[in-house]
């Protein structure tokens, strides 16, 4: 694999690759790589002839300065892992802030209701920052395929919308959530959890699994109340939101419907660490 720090040299290399009509796959990350990221990269390796992995902690998507400052990073470890995973032709792009934001980005996006609910309402400006950096990377790299985790379901829906709104040619590929053995969804933020918080964090997946089992057996509102109650019962966890939505358009579900895109989405604070997760509420009778 080859490591690039500058847009210009990366673009030159990509141009040569495009002339050979090789399929380019992109995995965007903020570093502190884990099995969730590796699963995206492995899929990209299978489906694309050249893979580009970016590592950039994007300041504009952090509405909380402290959260940005404490976001985990270990570039040396990331590069070591990537070296064992990526092929000779693959690339890693590690720009600095000046490279990505030579000037403040004034682009303002409006995704309608998509960025006003759930993460959007708890992290004002977050999706604008995500859209700014994702559109920059997509414009620089111009991949054929770009891979995103379904853990950030709302982000995935918004990026699909961004691509549709701006007529970009890239195909957005959603990839399944990867979990720890006890069910906790993999996240770079998990390493910020204390031992106690980590132990309690398993309740997030337990709550989603209960929601899966109870979907369409009790009313939506009762399910929501029970799930929130289950988590808030813990002295360490607090629910920020728990919503049942259509995973394609993020519209809330008020009554159970026969639709395989029904998702339960949750955000929980464990001490100062925010955990988000979701589960598809497919019931046997829906499939």
* Contact yes or no for 47/23 (Cβ under 8 A): yes
Q: Which of 21, 37, 113, 126 is catalytic?
A: 37
- Give the x/- contact pattern for ligand PAF in 266-285, rule: CB under 6 A: --------------------
Q: Which is nearer to ligand PAF, 68 or 230 (CB)?
A: 68
CA 58 from chain centre, in angstroms, equals: 13
Cβ(149)–Cβ(40) below 8 Å: yes
Q: Candidates 28-36, 88-96, 174-182, 260-268: pick the segment binding ligand PAF (CB under 6 A).
A: 28-36
> In whole angstroms, what is the distance from residue 95 CA to residue 82 CA?
16
Give the range of 25-33, 171-179, 197-205, 268-276 binding ligand PAF by CB under 6 A.
25-33
- The residue from 119, 152, 200, 243 that contacts ligand PAF (CB under 6 A) is 152
Q: 153 in helix, strand or coil? A: helix
| 28 lies in the site for ligand PAF, by CB under 6 A | yes
DSSP secondary structure string for all residues of 75-91: HHHHHHHHHHHS-TT-E
String marking each residue 42-81 x if it binds ligand PAF according to CB under 6 A: ----------------x--x--------------------
x/- track of binding to ligand PAF for residues 92-131 (CB under 6 A): --------------------------------------x-
37 is catalytic: yes
Q: Which is nearer to ligand PAF, 129 or 184 (CB)?
A: 129
The CB-of-244 to ligand PAF minimum distance in angstroms stands at: 23
Among 30, 163, 178, 276, binds ligand PAF (CB under 6 A): 30
Phi, psi of 178 (to 5 degrees): -105, 135
Total residues interacting with ligand PAF, rule: CB under 6 A: 10
Say if residues 134 and 110 touch (Cβ distance below 8 Å): no
Closest separation in Å from C-beta 100 to ligand PAF: 10
Closer to ligand PAF by Cβ: residue 155 or 278: 155
**CA dist., res. 119 & res. 152, Å (int):** 9
* C-alpha span between 50 and 18 (Å, rounded): 10
- 187 lines the binding site for ligand PAF (CB under 6 A): no
Name the minimum Å distance from CB 224 to ligand PAF: 26
Q: DSSP strand E in 106-236: where? A: 145-149, 171-175
Q: Are 175 and 148 in contact (CB under 8 A)?
A: yes
Beta pairing, strands 262-270 & 273-280: antiparallel
Question: Terminal CA-to-CA distance of the chain, rounded, Å?
Answer: 42
**Smallest distance, Å, CB 176 to ligand PAF?**
15
Q: Binding to ligand PAF by residue 133, rule CB under 6 A?
A: yes
How many Å is the Cα radius of gyration of the chain?
19
Q: How far is the CB of 29 from ligand PAF (least distance, A)?
A: 5
Residue 66: CB minimum distance to ligand PAF, A: 18
CA distance 273 to 7: 33
Q: 203, 233 in Cβ contact below 8 A?
A: no
The H or E element containing residue 243 is: strand 237-246
Which residues are catalytic, by number? 37
Residues that bind ligand PAF (CB under 6 A): 28-30, 58, 61, 130, 133-134, 152, 155
């Amino acid at each position: 694999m080859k490591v690039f720090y500058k847009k210009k040299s990366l673009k030159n290399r990509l141009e040569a690759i495009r002339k050979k009509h090789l399929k380019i796959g992109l995995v965007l990350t903020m570093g502190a790589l884990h099995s969730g990221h590796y699963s995206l990269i492995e899929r990209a390796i299978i489906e694309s002839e050249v893979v580009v992995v970016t590592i950039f902690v994007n300041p504009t998507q952090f509405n909380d300065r402290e959260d940005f400052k404490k976001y985990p990073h270990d570039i040396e470890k990331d590069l070591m892992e990537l070296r064992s995973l990526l092929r000779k032709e693959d690339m890693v792009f590690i720009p600095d802030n000046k490279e990505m934001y030579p000037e403040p980005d004034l682009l303002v996006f409006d995704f309608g209701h998509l960025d006003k609910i759930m993460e959007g309402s708890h992290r004002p400006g977050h999706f604008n920052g995500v859209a700014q950096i994702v559109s920059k990377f997509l414009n620089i790299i111009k991949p054929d395929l770009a891979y995103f985790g379904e853990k950030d379901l709302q982000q995935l829906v918004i990026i699909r919308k961004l691509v549709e709104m701006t007529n970009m040619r890239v195909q957005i590929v959603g990839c399944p959530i990867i979990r720890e053995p006890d069910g906790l969804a993999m996240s770079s933020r998990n390493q910020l959890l204390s031992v106690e918080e980590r132990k309690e964090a398993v309740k997030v997946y337990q709550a989603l699994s209960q929601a899966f089992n109870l979907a369409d057996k009790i009313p939506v509102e009762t399910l929501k109340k029970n799930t929130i109650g289950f988590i808030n019962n813990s002295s360490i966890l607090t629910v920020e939101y728990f919503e049942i939505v259509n995973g394609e358009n993020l519209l809330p579900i008020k009554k159970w419907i026969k639709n395989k895109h029904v998702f339960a989405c949750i955000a929980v604070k464990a001490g100062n660490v925010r955990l988000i997760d979701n589960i598809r509420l497919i019931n046997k009778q829906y499939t």
